[in-house]
Structure 1
Amino acid sequence: MSDRLSVLKTYKLYVGGKFPRSESGRVYEVTDAKGNWLANAPLASRKDARDAVVAARKAFGGWSGATAYNRGQILYRIAEMLEGQRDQFVAEVADAEGLSKAKAAAQVDAAIDRWVWYAGWSDKIAQIAGGANPVAGPYFNLSSPEPTGVVAVLAPQESSFLGLVSVIAPVIVSGNTVVVVASRNAPLPALSLAEVLATSDLPGGVVNLLSGRTAEIAAPLAAHQDVNALDLAGADADLAKELETAAADNLKRVVRPGAADWSADPGTERLLAFLETKTVWHPMGV
């Protein structure tokens, strides 16, 4: 029998490429599907949410200004690193969702494949969301997609990793930056994803991850004047209604929650949800 002490992992928030504890100093207990203690996760505050928005805004210029090809390379690099840490994520997803190792492995493999899928879209979005428009007159009229800005994302509550990836990757691949509120009861895969992002080529501030009470963190994000859009995947109907009302103050784009099969083909809905269209007129022959 070994008398070695276990080295327990300390989970932290991920804001601006760094790993702060909550400024409030609060934590909460995370348990597995059977109620067994797994870890203490940081209980993010309203101040943490505001700090994350500042970090996301600061990162937006550089990330949105990067070439689509470069963003695709970086997303693919994240998938490579997730593949290398597959066993860790399988264990965390199995604990978080009460799955067998085989079912958790299938979820993790699907999440990694989804990163690769979205990475491939980076330099193809313009082909389906933009193009030349027929106009009357001697002009070229061209429309091209541009990122919306800072997006606040409430990660799905029930799908701790595949659902999480399915709401982060389509937002950042087009040049947006995000503040993500992880699943309330199963935040550990999200906080471990932050460690992968920090050691990839993804610039700090592009993805910011918070854990804690979903409603407490989401309220200041929905009301924040420097947040441009909301994805309410992890909100229940009552919370979603409150957040939509708050979002109306600065005309945020909002993706409403709904029944989702995260293992299904994601399509392009979320990929296109947080894009604006720039239209340019140019005289012919000039």
Structure 2
Amino acid sequence: MLKTYKLYIGGKFPRSESGRVYEVTDAQGQWLANAPLASRKDARDAVVAARKAFAGWSGATAYNRGQVLYRVAEMLEGRREQFAAEVAAADGLPAAKAREVTDAAIDRWVWYAGWSDKVAQVVGGANPVAGPFFNLSTPEPTGVVAVLAPRRSSLLGLVSVLAPVIVTGNTAVLVTSHTAPLPALSLAEVLATSDLPGGVVNILSGDTAELARPLAAHRDVNALDLAGADGELAAELEAAAAENLKRVLRPAPGADDWSADPGLARMTPFLETKTVWHPVGA
């Protein structure tokens, strides 16, 4: 019997509202499993869950968020062989290479976890002003971020776009790669059994364009990562996002080398800077 996966919304595993599923095959065309074909209603439900979780997650201490992400990395490592097998099937890699990629994805998750209580020190700071005031700038999370997972690099690319969104206090609605959703759907099982609060990450599988369009137009989505959109779809989604002033991260051509040092490039686009003035001596 082939496994039939479910969506991950609000910390639970519902079936798609439409009842639809689709067959997931490996690089050679062999049938691996059934994945849910999420609908626009599922996308709206995921946004509601992400918004509900935002206050608690963004209000948690940076140290606490980091510890939660470290725990996720530990659980990923505990299921290393399962993820390596899924990566091999999804990305068409030899077993040894798939293990290397899986290890890199675990390391990447740990790397982002370590930034939880450091990014504010790097991005924020005390500003020199002409007057008897302290002027302090601190980064704050943007809100609900819709993330389109890369079409290739089913685990390392996935981790590279998801971890920087949530480590900075945002909540996420992730649309998996249509052709290689299994690592993302298995990651949902890891997240559900870790300490991550329900709704911080919501995972939808299905047709990328069908799900991305309502998310780009949704007025309760604050930002959009177009890592998994091609040129024509990305331009359409940018236009929809512009109508309600979403932040949009559209990767430059050639920016999909997921093995490269990520730097801060995927954390800072989903942060807003708050500046506070305070009288000296008061």
Q: How does 1:9-48 map to 2 (within 5 A)?
A: 9-48=3-42
Structure 2: how far apart are the matches of 1:233 and 1:87?
Answer: 26
Q: 2:162 aligns with which of 147, 160, 168?
A: 168
Is structure 2 residue 242 aligned with structure 1 residue 241? no
AA partner of residue 258 (structure 2):
W
Structure 1: how far apart are the matches of 2:136 and 2:54?
Answer: 24
Secondary structure at the residue paired with 2:12?
coil
Structure 1: how far apart are the matches of 2:135 and 2:61?
Answer: 23
AA partner of residue 161 (structure 2):
V
* Cα deviation, residue 181, structure 1: 0.4
Q: 1:74 aligns with which of 68, 85, 91?
A: 68
AA partner of residue 263 (structure 1):
S
Which residue in the other structure is 1:279 paired with?
A: 275
Alpha-carbon displacement from aligned partner over 1:87-132 (angstroms, at most 9, x marks no partner): 1001111011111101110110000000100000000011111000
Which residue in the other structure is 1:130 paired with?
A: 124
- 8 Å Cα contact 1:16-1:52 kept in structure 2: yes
TM-score w.r.t. length of structure 1: 0.97
Which residue in the other structure is 2:99 paired with?
A: 105
RMSD: 0.7
* Cα deviation, residue 9, structure 1: 2.1
- 8 Å Cα contact 1:150-1:179 kept in structure 2: yes
Structure 2: how far apart are the matches of 1:193 and 1:199?
Answer: 10
Structure 2: how far apart are the matches of 1:215 and 1:122?
Answer: 32
Spell out structure 1 runs of 4+ moving beyond 3 A.
Answer: none
Secondary structure at the residue paired with 1:270?
coil
- 8 Å Cα contact 2:2-2:32 kept in structure 1: no
Secondary structure at the residue paired with 2:32?
strand
AA partner of residue 159 (structure 2):
V
Secondary structure at the residue paired with 1:94?
helix
TM-score w.r.t. length of structure 2: 0.98
Q: 2:141 aligns with which of 129, 139, 147?
A: 147
Residue identity over aligned pairs, in percent, reads 81
Question: Gapped runs of 5+ residues in structure 1?
Answer: 1-6
Secondary structure at the residue paired with 2:274?
strand
Q: Give aligned pairs, total.
A: 280
- 8 Å Cα contact 2:146-2:172 kept in structure 1: yes
* Cα deviation, residue 273, structure 1: 1.1
